[in-house]
Amino acid sequence: MAEEFEPKIIAFLCKWCSSAGSDLAGVSRMKYPPNVVPITVMCSGSVSPLYIFNAFQKGADGVLVSGCHPGDCHYIKGNFYARRRIALVKELIEYIGLEPQRFKMSWVSAAEGKKYTKIIQDFVQELKPLGPQKKLRREK
């Protein structure tokens, strides 16, 4: 029997909230799919669109950007900038024909380990029927 497709997700998590949230999920022994590769960044506002495109080029099947809830940003307003920028990236990705389901943004606070596991579970469920992302992937 053919093995089921396991998507690879690159998650850019902000250091202060989402990364701590994913840690909480870990230390609380919550169960979630192992498909995600977390990359801690200092702030969701520091995620350049280039990181996102590059993740897809390097073969990510899905990309998640996660930051603090609005108003909770460690740098006061980084996540507000992120919100605008990510909205533009999302529209652009959809416009060039990449499946919009492959790119997500979320607010996860340091206390929301449960929400983080739910987001990853749902994301993996959504990506499985899409199959591997080959559109932007480098041919090497």
Partner 1 sequence: MVNLEEIKKEAKNILEEGKVKYIIGYAKSSNALMAAPTFVKKPEDIDKLIWDPTCFQNLVKFLLDEKRKKAREKEPDIRPVGIFVKGCDSRAINVLLQEKFITREDVYIIGLSCEDLGVLDEKKIFKKLKGEEPEKIEFDQRKNIVISTKEKTIKIPLKEILAERCLECTSSFPVISDVFWGDRNNRSPKEPFKSLEQIESLSQEKKWDFWQQQLSKCIRCYACRSVCPMCYCDECVVDSINLAITADTTAEEKSQKIKWIEKSPESSENFGYHLVRAMHLAGRCIDCSECERVCPVDIPLRLLNKKLEKVAKELFDYKAGLDPEQPSLVSSFKDEDPEDFIR
**Binding residue for partner 1 (CB under 8 A) from 39, 77, 131, 132?**
77
Residue 78 CA from chain centroid, whole number: 17
CA-based max dimension of the chain: 52
Interaction between residue 129 and partner 1 (CB under 8 A): no
CB–CB of 83/118 below 8 Å?
no
- Looking at the DSSP bridge assignments, the partners of residue 11 are 38, 64
Which of the residues 24 through 53 are near partner 1 (CB under 8 A)? 49-50, 53
Interaction between residue 20 and partner 1 (CB under 8 A): no
- In the complex, which residues of this chain contact partner 1 (CB under 8 A)? 49-50, 53-54, 57, 70, 77, 80-81, 83-92, 94-100, 104-107, 119, 135-139
